[in-house]
Amino acid sequence: MESLSEVALTEEERYRLLVDAITDYAIYMLDPDGRVSSWNPGAQRFKGYQAAEIIGEHFSRFYTDEDRATGLPARALRLAQTEGRFENEGWRVRKDGSRFWAHVIIDPIRSPSGGILGFAKVTRDLTERKAAELQLRDSEQQFQLLVQGVSDYAIYMLDPDGYITSWNSGARRIKGYESSEVVGSHFSRFYVEEDRAAGQPGKGLEIARREGRFEKEGIRQRKDGTRFWAHVIIDAIRDTSGNLIGFAKVTRDITEKVEAQQALNQAREDLFQAQKMEAIGQLTGGIAHDFNNLLMAVLGSLEILKKKLPDDPSMAPLLDNAIQGAERGVSLVQRMLTYSRKQNLNMSAVDVAQVVDGMMEFIQRAVGAEILLETRFPDRLPPVSTDPLQLETALLNLIVNARDAMPEGGRITVHADHMDESAEGGTGLGYVRLSVSDTGQGMDEETVQQATTPFFTTKGVGKGTGLGLSMVQGLAEQSGGRLMIESRAGEGTTISLVLPATEAEIQAETAVEPVDQNKPDLRQGPLTVLAVDDDALVLMNTSLMLEDLGHTVIEAYNGKDALDVLRSGREVDLVITDHSMPRMTGAELAEEIRVAWPSLPIVLATGYAELPAGNGRKWPMLSKPFTQDQLETAIVLAARNSLEQNL
């Protein structure tokens, strides 16, 4: 068989073989009028016509009706003839009527003299590419709609230098700018001045450029100047060659989230503080109970010792000093109990102006000559509901604190006003604000926040317990009011006790009613007193004071022992019992005695002040530590109550 190389072919035959071998392109000839004069296998493959069917037909049959109506076939030939080439893409029609996307080139074929012999037409089927482009365009449109539809995120593009190239609706909503206002400007405009000065925008882009991504939370600025917390992500965008073409930036407004977290953290801190204060309060109450028992033993013993020792001028000051120290301990315990809300208040209607006026002489001596003391009260001020003795102690605490804040002298003003607010409990009478103002050093915000914290003090070691303001706050809250502190460093301090006003009448102080001569007076003869206390030191001290008063004492260390004594038939004229005892409290013991021996007088003593709201109030109370005189007065009152109940 002869090979092709062995066959002598003309140049025209070689071109014919080449054209016929091409199946991916429709390559055919048109005469000067546009009629098909040749047809290759590629044209046959994707146009669907056999050569015999199409040769001699006008090429416009491949065009759509719309293109033929606009004269596109004739225009294509004319452009090819005048400009030397026509190239275009568009829809074409196959034999079966289906359409395909074609890339068309028409070149004129001229004779050596320049005349038109016809046209060479090359058509390529780009339907798949067109479909891919349409799909890509649809995808891009959908993505654009998606990005524009997101309003909770600011999504926009930056060029490699950080200038904005796109802007979505979320960016407009969050940042407040229209697209026309920001496209083309640098994204650093959204940063606050401090961050711009620190170079934060450039650092973010550099990290994204180097690592591919940058993420951070921080403060950003809106068009109107307001600030918001933002969560920011910057992603580097690179082309297929790895070249940086820009950045995608996503910003979310997380202000509400941050504020909610801050509120949660504050709530947790408040809860922790409340739990800590409750724990300290429980501890303080327990310590105060034990300390009261110790002070009871110390004070009582000192008092008996002072009475029994001979009048020795060298010894008396020592005893007085010891008693004074113990009494200061009593005052400290009272503060601790008031802080821990375990100090019972003797609530009554109090005229605050009258209280202050009665204390002025003593207060002036306490503050010294370097301090100018002023009072300022309105003509009419309603009484308040509180404990008058505790109020005096609280006021003294505030004035001493004001004095200590002015070591070089100054002015203290005690003043009050009526606050027209509805008091808790629905009285609708408002509050009275009793304030102590000084011109001293003042406090910064951090110190103000800690001022009422138990044991916190700005005074030197040994100069303050740190319980003064805690005690004042405890009194205010137990009275149904609150404590207010207004202070700035270098501008002085005003601390106010806000107490609920009351309509109750102020009770005038009266002397103790003398004992009715027609009634038995238990002080006229010795009594047999049953003393009950689980603390041996306190019981011994109480017995000593009773015996010194001429009474006979029977001791019991708990409620069961006390009941056994009474059931044994021994004659007892009066019972004095501690309240806080294990297994059976003093109030429970008193109730048992009231049922079995209703005429027997009872005195309840407590260093804890934790009596039940009901039965514990039926008997005279004696607060530890008590003096011998207080003990004797309690015995008289218990006897009177018992006699009156049995008449």
Q: What is the pLDDT of residue 211?
A: 92
Residue 529 has pLDDT above 50, yes or no: yes
- Identify residue 74 by its one-letter amino acid code: A
Q: What is the pLDDT of residue 33?
A: 92
What digits encode the pLDDT tens for the residues 57-103?
Answer: 999 999 999 999 999 999 999 999 999 899 999 999 999 999 989 89
Residue 149 has pLDDT above 90, yes or no: no
Residue 389 sits in a domain whose CATH number is 3.30.565.10
Higher-confidence residue: 443 or 459?
443
Q: What is the pLDDT of residue 380?
A: 85
- Asked whether residue 360 falls in the same domain as residue 495, the answer is yes
Higher-confidence residue: 286 or 430?
430
Q: What is the pLDDT of residue 187?
A: 92
Q: What is the pLDDT of residue 136?
A: 63
Residue 55 sits in which domain range?
Answer: 4-127
Q: What are phi and psi of 498, to 5 degrees?
A: -100, 110
Mean pLDDT of 460-482: 65
Cβ(336)–Cβ(468) under 8 Å?
no
- Asked whether residue 383 falls in the same domain as residue 483, the answer is yes
User: Cα–Cα distances in Å, from 423 out to 197, 254, 500, 504?
Assistant: 52, 40, 6, 15
Q: What is the pLDDT of residue 386?
A: 85
Q: Which of 253, 283, 315 is the last residue of a domain?
A: 253
- Asked whether residue 374 falls in the same domain as residue 274, the answer is no
Angle among Cα 90, 95, 99 to the nearest 5 degrees reads 30
- Asked whether residue 315 falls in the same domain as residue 411, the answer is no
User: Cα–Cα distances in Å, from 40 out to 90, 106, 430?
Assistant: 21, 16, 107
- Asked whether residue 103 falls in the same domain as residue 227, the answer is no
Mean pLDDT of 469-496: 81
Of 238-247, 305-314, 373-382, minimum mean pLDDT range: 305-314
Given pLDDT bands bounded at 50, 70 and 90, which one contains residue 615? very low
CA distance 496 to 502: 18
Residue 176 has pLDDT above 60, yes or no: yes
Residue 44 has pLDDT above 60, yes or no: yes
Q: What is the pLDDT of residue 515?
A: 40
The verdict on residue 75 lying in a domain is yes
Q: What is the pLDDT of residue 520?
A: 42
What digits encode the pLDDT tens for the residues 122-146?
Answer: 888 887 777 777 676 765 566 565 5
Q: What is the pLDDT of residue 525?
A: 62
Mean pLDDT of 454-474: 54
Given pLDDT bands bounded at 50, 70 and 90, which one contains residue 518? very low
Residue 202 has pLDDT above 60, yes or no: yes
- Asked whether residue 290 falls in the same domain as residue 359, the answer is no
Which residues, 6 or more positions from 611, have their beta carbon under 8 angstroms from its beta carbon?
Answer: 344, 579, 587, 604, 617, 621
Residue 173 sits in a domain whose CATH number is 3.30.450.20
Q: Is the peptide bond before 388 cis (omega within 30 degrees of 0)?
A: no
Structure tokens at 175: 């940042």
User: Cα–Cα distances in Å, from 475 out to 5, 253, 517?
Assistant: 121, 46, 41
Residue 277 has pLDDT above 70, yes or no: no
The verdict on residue 139 lying in a domain is no
Given pLDDT bands bounded at 50, 70 and 90, which one contains residue 55? very high
The verdict on residue 262 lying in a domain is no
- Asked whether residue 496 falls in the same domain as residue 585, the answer is no
The verdict on residue 517 lying in a domain is no
Spell out a b/e string for 86-118, using b for 16 or more CB atoms within 10 Å of the CB, else e.
beeebebbeeeeeebbbbbbbebeeeeeeeeeb
Structure tokens at 547: 């015996």
Residue 584 sits in a domain whose CATH number is 3.40.50.2300
- What percent of the chain is modeled with pLDDT above 70? 76
Given pLDDT bands bounded at 50, 70 and 90, which one contains residue 463? very low
- Asked whether residue 396 falls in the same domain as residue 469, the answer is yes
Cβ(129)–Cβ(138) under 8 Å?
no
CA distance 232 to 533: 70
- Asked whether residue 555 falls in the same domain as residue 577, the answer is yes
Higher-confidence residue: 195 or 518?
195
Q: Which of 253, 281, 309 is the last residue of a domain?
A: 253
* Counted domains in the chain: 5
Given pLDDT bands bounded at 50, 70 and 90, which one contains residue 513? very low
Given pLDDT bands bounded at 50, 70 and 90, which one contains residue 519? very low
- Asked whether residue 97 falls in the same domain as residue 180, the answer is no
Residue 168 has pLDDT above 60, yes or no: yes
Burial status of residue 399 (CB atoms within 10 A of its CB: 0-12, 13-18, 19 or more): buried
- Asked whether residue 357 falls in the same domain as residue 312, the answer is no
Given pLDDT bands bounded at 50, 70 and 90, which one contains residue 336? low
What digits encode the pLDDT tens for the residues 550-563?
Answer: 899 999 999 999 99
Higher-confidence residue: 141 or 502?
502
Mean pLDDT of 345-358: 82
Residue 41 has pLDDT above 90, yes or no: no
Mean pLDDT of 494-509: 77
What digits encode the pLDDT tens for the residues 208-231?
Answer: 999 989 999 999 999 998 999 999
Cβ(604)–Cβ(619) under 8 Å?
yes
pTM of the model: 0.41
Q: What is the pLDDT of residue 530?
A: 94
Q: Which of 295, 319, 339 is the last residue of a domain?
A: 339
- Asked whether residue 322 falls in the same domain as residue 391, the answer is no
Q: What is the pLDDT of residue 576?
A: 93
The verdict on residue 115 lying in a domain is yes
